[in-house]
Structure 1
Amino acid sequence: MIPFLGFTKSFEDKKTKADTLTTVAEVKEEEESKGAFAFSGYLDSYYSANFNKPASRSNGGAAGTARVFDTRSGQFSLGLVQTKVAYTNDKSEAVVDLTFGPNANLGNYGNAVFSTALAIKQAYFTYKFTDKFSMTAGQFGTHIGYEVIDAPANFNYSLSNQFNNGPFYHTGLKATYAFSERASLMVGVVNNVDGIEDNNRKKGIISQLYVAPVENWNVYLNFITSNEANDDTDTGVTPDASYTMFDLATSYQITEKFLLGVNASYGLQKGDFQGGGGPADTESWGGIAGYANTSITDNFGIGLRYEYFNNDNGVRGLRTATGAGTSVNSVTLTGNITLADGHILLKPEFRLDTYPKVSGANSEQQFQDSKGAWSKNSQTTFGLAMIYKF
């Protein structure tokens, strides 16, 4: 009986231990399935001094498109306030990303059909079918380009002309498949460029191929093609038109303190673009930018960006006073100072934009002088961005 009783006790102990382990595992699995909320955001303001001292106190130039967000000079300006809420569990994620302020009005301009929708920068959810395959639906930031709207995420404060003349966001459905940790493919269907509602009956196609050839080197090959023409108001038919962009964004963290990046884009357009008109034949635009960032200390770094952008055919927003196409060379030198354990970012920044001189009698140049005359073909600004992130 003793051996039997001993066996019985041992069996009961094992059973109790197994039950306990199962219960712990179930609780852990239940906690993981419940997911977690994350709240983050930032606010930024800036002061920009323009050496031309334009009478209009604007950095935008003759067409108003020389700068995308930091448009005011000679004054303190509010940039953007962001509040972002994310809910994540092991199979899904939901993101509500709201922005307010002058830059939100500019960045989310395509949502203006509804007053409350203007605050929506992103609102989407993702379902993970497997560890490798997921799908995302809603309004999400564009995959095109090297830079993003969020000021803390970019080394430079002022944004590039490639960013300014490309898409900001899309509304639609996209699927992503990860071949490995170093390669993935995204393909999606979207309404159009920068709009919560579609302006015609056609749909756009987007894609992104990501590869990491070696450790710390990331390469993104981006693509979009769509018909952006407004429907004919009489027939409801969508006219023949096309908008296509090819984009390369790559960065290489060469050392712990030094990073190099490149962004190159090439676009094609034919016909109307969202009611703004367009060329009868296919015309192109494009640009290239190089980035070099270095950390001097844990709390201070310097970044240099050079960019050339060509819109000589006049199909994008960068134009002269008469609406003709133009091109620009831009050099931007930015410092990054972090305070309060990384919550406060100070970005002193110098930027020079140089355009070709417009020839001819009484021709207006790209930028305004202190007397209100359009006499300058270049613009030099020095500013300080003040950012708090949480």
Structure 2
Amino acid sequence: MKLFTKLTPVAAILLLSFGATTVQAEEKKDPLSISGFIDMSYYATDTDGGESTHDAGLDQVEINVGYDFGNKLTANVDIEYQNADEGVDLEQAFITYALTDNFSVKAGRFLSYSGWETEEPTGLFQYSGTGYAKYFYGYYQQGVSGLYSGDKFAVAVSVVNDLAGPQSTDSEHPGIETMLALMPTDEITIKGFYSKDGDVELINTWASYSKDALTLAVEYNTAEDSAFEGSDASGYLVMANYAITEKVGLTLRYNDWEIEDESGAMFEDATGITISPSYVVNDNLLMVFEYRMDEVNDVDVNSFAVEALITF
């Protein structure tokens, strides 16, 4: 969903597994494409002064279906299953029409462009997200979005029913999400987002550098009324990923965020350090290991995870 493709072990798997299929599809002019992933994990937490948890099983399965009608019109539908109360869900369903080689418009239910960390595990450098996306990023939305892409920049504007409401149909007071992306070199990407929906106001900015085996990223966010009415939030992350060999990678991440209420009193104060090695078993299977140390409102929480991510 993001405009910038991260050079992660997952991305490498996707490139290898879909590369031959893509060439074959171009030769046969097959308009139908099907892809997806199976995500399963073991996850354990230890909370200072609290209980420990141990969970293992299937986290998520997703099937992505795309169809190219051949006249500048495409359609995409994503179906997902999560091993939680959500069950089977229609994640995305939208059509895209390319008015020119540079400008396209899409309509339906789609994921916000905003945020360095992607919603899906296939776009993450580690097992977990920071946990602050719900305060600073847009989510799945219903509406219309226009995207203009040039050689060194891109601009997008989305008009949606709700910045984070995939089932919202009330369009009387729409939300607006705007994006400016700069790509001055092949290695550097800079993006800024300004989103507003009523009293909710989000600013998300991030920059990344990726060359050879190294990827570096930094993100800074501010938000008003995103946690609750009158809330004021800010947060950031810094991250480094290094591919030690063709099969072994390592990610280090530090994240921090805080939320104040209308009076200025601290409501939530959180920091986290993540260490996440990964191992490419084959073209379709990636193993991700993660050790994470968090401090949330002065309470220490340590967690450990082992993830098996299968892409197809």
Specify the TM-score bucket, using the shorter chain as the normaliser. 0.7 to 0.9
Q: Give CA deviations for 1:89-111 in whole Å, capped at 9, x if unaligned.
A: 46122110111123683xxxxxx
Give the CA RMSD over aligned residues: 2.6
Of the three residues 150, 165, 171, the one matched with 2:120 is 150
Question: Could you say which residue in structure 1 is the equivalent of 2:290?
Answer: 349
Q: Percent identity?
A: 23
Q: How do residues 87-102 of structure 1 correspond to structure 2 at under 5 angstroms?
A: 87-88=67-68, 89=70, 91-102=72-83
Task: Give 1:53 deviation, angstroms.
Answer: 8.3
Q: 1:302 aligned to 2:250?
A: yes
Query: What is the distance in 2 between the residues matched to 1:250 and 1:90?
Result: 35
User: Bigger shift: 44-53 or 94-103?
Assistant: 44-53
The structure with the greater share of residues assigned to helix is 1
Give the letter for the 1:44 counterpart: D
Counterpart in the other structure of 2:303: 381
Indicate conservation of the 8 Å contact 1:265/1:288, yes or no.
yes
Please tell me the residue identity of whatever aligns with 2:221.
Answer: S
Are 1:51 and 2:16 an aligned pair?
no
Structure 1 contact 80–103 (Cα < 8 Å) conserved: no
Deviations 1:195-221 (A, max 9, x none): 322357211111111110222111111
| One of 263, 268, 291 as aligned partner of 2:224 | 268
In 2, the alpha carbon distance for the partners of 1:92 and 1:250 equals 32
The equivalent of 1:249 in structure 2 is 206
| Partner-residue secondary structure (3-state), 1:288 | strand
1:35 CA displacement: 5.7
Contact kept in structure 1, 2:48 and 2:300, CA below 8 Å: no
Please, which runs of 5 or more residues in structure 2 have no aligned partner? 1-25
Structure-1 separation of matches of 2:240 and 2:81 = 31
Q: Deviations over 1:231-284 (max 9, x none)?
A: xxxxxxxxxxx101011122111x301110112111112xxx7xx9623xxx42
1:175-214 equivalences in 2 (<5 Å) = 175-178=146-149, 180-192=150-162, 193-198=164-169, 201-214=172-185
Structure 2 partner of 1:74: 54
CA displacement 1:26-45 (0-9 Å, x = unmatched): xxxxx99x762111100111
SS in 1 for 2:186: coil
Q: 1:383 to 1:54 in 2, by over 3 A?
A: farther
Q: Give the count of matched residue pairs.
A: 283
The residue that corresponds to 1:335 in the other structure is 277
Find the counterpart in structure 1 of residue 21 from structure 2: none
Q: TM-score, normalised by structure 1?
A: 0.67
Say which SS state the counterpart of residue 244 (structure 2) adopts: strand
Q: 1:125 Cα shift?
A: 0.9
Q: TM-score w.r.t. structure 2 length? A: 0.83
Which digits, 9 at most, give the CA deviation of each residue in 1:355-382, with x for residues without a partner?
Answer: 343xxxxxxxxxxxxxxxxxxx110111
Cα separation, 2, equivalents of 1:196 and 1:248: 27
CA apart distance, 1:56: 5.7
CA distance in 2, matches of 1:345, 1:309: 30
Aligned residue among 131, 135, 146 for 2:101: 131
SS at match of 1:94: strand
Q: If each structure's strand is expressed as a fraction of its own residues, which one has the higher value?
A: 2
The 1:102/1:324 distance shift into structure 2, 3 A limit, reads farther
Does the residue aligned with 1:152 lie in a helix, a strand or coil? Answer: helix
Assess if the C-alpha contact under 8 Å between 2:190 and 2:206 holds in 1.
yes
Letter in 1 for 2:118: V
The 1:90–1:349 alpha-carbon spacing in structure 2 relative to 1, beyond 3 Å, is farther
How far apart are the structure 1 equivalents of 2:177 and 2:138? 11
Matched, 1:278 2:234: no
In the alignment, structure 1 segments of 5+ residues that lack a partner are 1-30, 58-72, 106-114, 228-241, 316-322, 358-376
Structure possessing the higher radius of gyration over alpha carbons: 1
Partner of 1:290: 238
Match of 1:172 among 128, 133, 143: 143
